[in-house]
Structure 1
Amino acid sequence: MTPSIQARRETFHALHRTGCFVLPNPWDVGSARALQLLGFKAIASTSSGLAWSQGRPDNQVSRAVVLAHLRDLVAATDLPVNADFEGGFADTPDGVAESVRMAVETGVAGLSIEDSTGDADQPLRAIDDAVARLRAARAAIDATGTRTLLVGRAENFIVGRPDLADAITRLRAYSEAGADCLYAPGIRTREQIEAVVAAVAPKPVNLLVGWPSDLTVADYAAMGVRRISVGGALARAAWGGFLRTAKGLAEGGRFDGFADAASGAELNGMMGG
């Protein structure tokens, strides 16, 4: 029996209480179903993976398209889905609240709100503004009575402002504003990770690992990380294989790129064909 939306939300909260789990990021229905079959306990959308599948750069997809995509992911599997909800698709706290209500209606188990602006000269929102937006998101979720999990994101290391002290100040403020889980994408070193975990404890921390790493899930768990996401890395890996193979065809007339391709029978079996 397919678990109810609320049951998935309760499961998602439970995953954040103890241990460490991997939250992989599919970019379409097929990749979402494959991740469920591989045994993952939850999945998360990726703004970049979705954008590339639409022929657009990251952060250039409309709210309507994102909401439709979230509904598709929720319907595709039995797993809790966390929404990469960018900056809430609004300039004001009230607008963020409206967007969050719409996201909750898709059935997602969690969603994140970023503090980046998209302005290269001032890439981060003032903390007061960012906090007001998180409070609005929290209030909107609470008004639905769904306990949808809220993630507060400090984008310092992603937008070229790698100031750990400021990121921690932001994450603490977002925690006080009602974020259930805290996230500073781009931190990599043991010192950075442990500092963030300690700063927001006992609330859980999400870590982005979207690059080759010699460390394992167990290593990050030992640092106190509660969940690990990969952002657009799975989509980039898929695009990497596609581009290498296509370039071999276009530039050298070669077919050797198909050597590592999944078989049609395997994919049909995974998709229920």
Structure 2
Amino acid sequence: MNQHQKAGAFRALHEEGCFIMPNPWDVGSARILQGLGFKALATTSAGFANSIGLQDYEVTRDMVLSHAAALCEATDIPISADLENGFGDAAETCAETIGLAADTGLVGGSIEDFSTALGQQYDLEKARDRVAAAAEAANALPFPFTLTARAENFFTGFPDLADTIARLQAYQEAGAHILFAPGLRSIDDIRTVLSSIDRPLNVLMGPRDGFVPVADLAALGVRRISLGSSLSNAAHGALIRAAQELVETGTFEFTRDGIGGDRVAAIMDADKA
């Protein structure tokens, strides 16, 4: 698929029902996930940062866009990106970031309403203006770039459901195509959000207080499920446990859980079979 076709396919996924959009952290993990049959992927800011020895929010816009371009070049399915807060407080910067993201081959991206520089969420009017600028830039592209607007309340220490909903409603009015409030605590929270918006909702692996199966989220009306840095964390967990075994016991039991290079290559190249 070319970029226009990927963009159309990505929009269609949100109309067809609920789907999982996993988050690779490098080209190899992206090709593995594609080979296993996932229909769309999204970058992970924390996973990517950790893969190059940095912490979340320590990467620059150029670094994120270069990473996104590499993933798009290596795969044949739609990819959306975690574009943090648009890499700047100004609405104009958010719009610029959307245009640059489209140039990499991406067909979607998310904009947060939290400023790392300020250490807090933007006030509602400013947050809405930033989404509006990003949406205008997305809609001006020659293909349907899917903009996701994120309300970061539950991720940044302000777990106010009413404020979260007010923000999501403002962002849908500003033109966001998908809404996302990572960290919602319960099924009831998700149900309340769904009843208050008229855009597809992305959730982060379900409610924070206890993950539930995809089928249950789909039954509620959730359209998209992302995984954040969880796959990257799982991979790093396996690496750390293996290394600790070597240091502490000098044994090699960790190899029992490994997958051979031939199998990995076969999954990566499944689309070529």
Q: Distance in 2 between matches of 1:236 and 1:55?
A: 14
Q: Distance in 2 between matches of 1:96 and 1:197?
A: 26
Q: Distance in 1 between matches of 2:260 and 2:35?
A: 16
1:163 to 125, 145, 160: 160
Q: Distance in 2 between matches of 1:268 and 1:79?
A: 18
3-state SS, counterpart of residue 92 of structure 2: helix
Indicate the larger mover: 209-218 or 80-89. 209-218
Q: Distance in 2 between matches of 1:213 and 1:43?
A: 24
CA contact under 8 A between 2:135 and 2:175: conserved in structure 1? Answer: yes
| Residue of structure 1 equivalent to 2:55 | 57
Letter in 2 for 1:204: P
Query: How many pairs were matched up?
Result: 269
| Residue of structure 2 equivalent to 1:209 | 205
1:73 to 43, 52, 71: 71
1:26 to 24, 27, 40: 24
3-state SS, counterpart of residue 186 of structure 1: coil
Structure 2, unaligned stretches of length 5 or more?
none
3-state SS, counterpart of residue 109 of structure 2: strand
Matched, 1:98 2:96: yes
Shift of 1:119: 5.3
Indicate the larger mover: 143-152 or 231-240. 143-152
Shift of 1:213: 5.1
3-state SS, counterpart of residue 16 of structure 1: helix
| Residue of structure 2 equivalent to 1:263 | 260
1:143 to 133, 140, 143: 140
Provide, for residues 116-170 of structure 1, a one-character-per-residue CA deviation record: whole Å limited to 9, x for no partner.
11258x5211111111111111111122232200001000001111111100000
Indicate the larger mover: 151-160 or 257-266. 257-266
Shift of 1:265: 1.7
| Residue of structure 2 equivalent to 1:38 | 36
CA contact under 8 A between 2:36 and 2:267: conserved in structure 1? Answer: no
CA contact under 8 A between 2:111 and 2:131: conserved in structure 1? Answer: yes
* CA RMSD across the alignment: 1.6
Provide, for residues 23-43 of structure 1, a one-character-per-residue CA deviation record: whole Å limited to 9, x for no partner.
000001111111111111111
Letter in 1 for 2:24: P
Shift of 1:181: 0.5
3-state SS, counterpart of residue 15 of structure 2: coil
| Residue of structure 2 equivalent to 1:232 | 229
Letter in 2 for 1:31: S
| Residue of structure 2 equivalent to 1:193 | 190
Shift of 1:52: 0.3
CA contact under 8 A between 2:204 and 2:225: conserved in structure 1? Answer: yes
Letter in 1 for 2:202: N
Letter in 2 for 1:142: N
Provide, for residues 166-219 of structure 1, a one-character-per-residue CA deviation record: whole Å limited to 9, x for no partner.
000000000000000100000131110011111112x10001018795521110
What TM-score does the superposition give when structure 1 sets the normalisation length?
A: 0.94
Shift of 1:48: 0.5
CA contact under 8 A between 2:165 and 2:193: conserved in structure 1? Answer: yes
Matched, 1:176 2:170: no
Shift of 1:73: 1.0
Provide, for residues 224-261 of structure 1, a one-character-per-residue CA deviation record: whole Å limited to 9, x for no partner.
10010000000000000000001111222221122101
3-state SS, counterpart of residue 111 of structure 1: strand
| Residue of structure 2 equivalent to 1:83 | 81
CA contact under 8 A between 2:186 and 2:210: conserved in structure 1? Answer: no
Structure 1, unaligned stretches of length 5 or more?
none
Q: Distance in 1 between matches of 2:214 and 2:66?
A: 32
Letter in 1 for 2:259: A
3-state SS, counterpart of residue 222 of structure 1: helix
3-state SS, counterpart of residue 59 of structure 2: coil
Pairs within 5 Å for 1:112-131: 112-118=110-116, 122-131=119-128
Matched, 1:253 2:250: yes
Q: Distance in 2 between matches of 1:102 and 1:146?
A: 14
Name the % identity: 45
Q: Distance in 2 between matches of 1:256 and 1:32?
A: 27
What TM-score does the superposition give when structure 2 sets the normalisation length?
A: 0.94
